[in-house]
Amino acid sequence: MKYIIGTRGSRLALTQAEYVCKKLRESYPQEEFEIQVVKTRGDLILDKPLHEIGDRGVFVREIEEKLLSGEIHLGVHSMKDMPARPASGLAFTRAWKREDPRDVLILREKSSLEELPQGAVIGTGSKRREFQLKRLRPDLNIVGIRGNVDTRLRKMEEEKLDGIVLAAAGLHRLSMQDKITQYLEPEEMIPAPAQGILALEIREGEEKLKAMLDALSHEETAAAALGERSFLQEMGASCHLPVGAVLRKEGEEMFCLRAMFGNESGSRQAYASVSGREPEELAREEDLGFLCGHYEGIDERVLEEVVTDHVSIGDYVLTGGELPAMVMVDTISRLVPGVLHNDTSAESESFQDNLLEHPQYSRPEVWHGKRVPEVLLSGHHANIQKWKREQSILRTRERRPDLLKQCQLTEEERRLLADEEYTRQKTEESV
């Protein structure tokens, strides 16, 4: 059978697709494989930063449309550019061996980040990279830059930038390691979730092709992809928000997940690291830690600030403010169902329909640009704050009881824990 492999047309994208094509030809000589270049919206708009032109899907939608129509059989992407979930009707196969996940500095004259002068100008189109660079060197002047690897290198020279930040994986695949000035370790800059991993996307139900691709997968990389992208899903993040995650193996059976999350302006950032045996479970534990405010950049008052600020909860839910959109929408859907049903306005009905159609509430494109009607939230701010914090505390007790020792609980919250424990014991006794 002849399989058509779809890819973007940049030099890096073609290099990645050719790598996949070559490996498939070597492994399955009885089959035919051919590459087809597909232009995407992200390739056509180069004068705006990514967060202004859409979500991660701007680099993949056209490829996914051709997959769904049957015009191509396999899409090859950089997994870090993919939305948290594949489009309906499509699926990712198990990940192949990862390239270096780190970010790197390419400097025009100096030899390290430390050597850069005060106020040096660094180019990047990523909020994640920008905010973490500023954390390392608050004096740096960060400017936006878009385009493929060659374009960014050219812009650095033409605009006399002191340097740019790129992914090590792309430079390695292009055999351009000699351009790298300094590797930034995950302790310095947490990479994007699944950075350095290829996303191999096919139609659901293509079992033969899935088996062929899965047979070439790499166990440790597959675990990393699961843990890092699970964190992305848990946080409900899009390209509008800075999010980073990297999972590494520790010993024979343990994994460590380092992660960061922030708001759009960078005024709040949180960093965390957890270890355990199950990558997917580690992602949920990171999420719990951020919600309970145990980590750098988020204090115990954050929940109160989110719901009492001058900007309504609706704005935070729909444009991605201090806390993940998924969490806030889920909270509202649980707390305000009566108001949703009582309000018969078209706006309310539309909002209710969205809630019913998207039970996971984690795809940012569902909510971005919309606003929760004020009437739906009237009188519920205090309840939402209280309920959300209680749920975070209860979930933390179940999964990470050690974290509760770091959290300053009110008397009412201590009584809640005691009541829950009493109820649990009585239930066990009755069984």
Q: How far apart are CA 77 and CA 17, in angstroms?
A: 8
pLDDT of residue 407: 65
Three-class secondary structure of residue 137 per DSSP: coil
Q: Which CATH architecture has domain 103-184?
A: 3-Layer(aba) Sandwich (3.40)
Which pairs count as long-range contacts for 147-153, CB under 8 Å and 24+ apart, including other chains?
Answer: 147/46, 148/10, 148/11, 148/12, 149/11, 149/12, 149/174, 149/176, 150/11, 151/46, 152/123, 153/106, 153/179
**DSSP 3-state assignment of 229?**
helix
Note the CATH number of domain 2-98+197-217: 3.40.190.10
Q: Given this model, what pLDDT does residue 17 score?
A: 97
User: What pLDDT, on a 0 to 100 scale, did the predictor assign at position 392?
Assistant: 66
Interstrand relation of 182-184 and 163-167 (parallel, antiparallel or unpaired): unpaired
CB atoms closer than 10 angstroms to residue 311: 11
pLDDT number for residue 40: 76
- What pLDDT score was predicted for residue 431? 47
pLDDT of res. 269: 74
Catalytic residue ranges: 80-81, 128-129, 146, 152, 239
**Residues contacting residue 264 through CB under 8 Å, at least 6 positions apart:** 51, 127, 240, 241, 319, 320, 321
- Per-position b or e across 317-336, b if 16+ CB within 10 A of its CB: bbbbbbbbbbbbbbbbbebb
Q: For position 425, what pLDDT does the model report?
A: 61
For residue 43, what pLDDT is reported?
57
In this structure, are residues 253 and 201 in contact, taking their beta carbons and an 8 Å threshold? no
Where in the chain are all domains bearing CATH 3.40.190.10? Answer: 2-98+197-217, 103-184
Position 252 scores a pLDDT of 81
Distance CA 327, CA 1 (A): 45
Could you list the pLDDT tens digit for every one of the 431 residues in the chain?
999 999 998 999 999 999 999 999 999 999 999 999 998 766 555 555 555 545 555 678 899 999 999 999 999 999 998 877 788 899 999 999 999 999 999 999 999 999 999 999 999 989 999 999 998 999 999 999 988 899 999 999 999 999 999 999 999 999 999 999 999 999 999 999 999 999 999 999 999 999 999 999 999 999 999 999 988 877 765 556 788 999 999 888 889 888 888 777 777 777 777 788 888 888 776 554 554 443 333 333 333 333 332 223 333 333 333 334 334 444 444 443 433 333 333 344 444 444 434 333 333 333 333 334 333 344 444 454 565 566 667 766 776 676 666 666 778 777 877 776 655 665 555 54
The pLDDT value given to residue 92: 96
Q: What separation, in Å, do the N-terminal and C-terminal C-alpha atoms of the chain show? A: 58
Query: What is the predicted pLDDT for the residue at 81?
Result: 83
Contact 24, 121 (CB under 8 A): no
What angle separates helix 381-399 from helix 411-430, to the nearest 10 degrees? 50
Which run of H or E residues covers position 349?
Answer: helix 346-357
